[in-house]
Structure 1
Amino acid sequence: MGRLLIKCIGLLLLLIGIYYLGQNIIFTSTYYRYFYQSLPAVGSVLAIVGGILTLVFFRRETGNFGWILLMIGIVLIFLSGGVILQPTSLWNFLVSFGTIAVGYKLLNEGRINF
């Protein structure tokens, strides 16, 4: 019961950190006059969906191909100009990143070594 509680606390901290860090990232979509201007946006959506489906359903068959598709999708999102990064304070970033790191460590190992 104790290990399950520690893993749940780790998952909760991980999700809280991702939530607070993700509040300063805005994804937008715009109207493109010509079809070829929207190719990075369409490619990013297809790469991310393909990467998630590959990781969830075909993990053994594809190996790291799903991670590669996710990285390509993230790069294409930034190339399409559909991401707005709002300014954040250093304190907010450190607390968010710290909760992500501690949550991940608790979720994987069940303890924190100082």
Structure 2
Amino acid sequence: MFDGTYSGSKAFLLNLSLSLAAQLEPEGVRVQAVLPGATRTEIWERSGKDVDSFPAEMVMGVDDLVDASLLGFDKGETVTIPPLADAGLYEAYDNARLAMGPHLSKRDVAPRYRETVAA
């Protein structure tokens, strides 16, 4: 839906926010990343896209986004995704991401990379 620069920037900011949250928590500083979906703002005019071309149920109003974000902060969320009804979906994603950690730096190559592939 979006180009790599946009998606990459959002991924960077999420990772930066998670890192800062962990680093600054002992100091009592809270960090929150808000991951909105399509939101009715002026960014659409600047991008040349018509926000009304999206299905109405996909576009959140700014006031709702801000209210949900502040409530997420008050609840202590590090990551707030206002349109995501099932918080368990993000928790499952994050748990899977964290589960990979111990497996990402090993002396030996994973067995699947020792196989030969027919040319």
Give TM-score, length-normalised by structure 2.
0.27
| Greater helix content | 1
Greater radius of gyration (CA): 2
Give TM-score, length-normalised by structure 1.
0.28
The one of the two structures with greater contact order (alpha-carbon pairs below 8 A, sep at least 6) is: 1
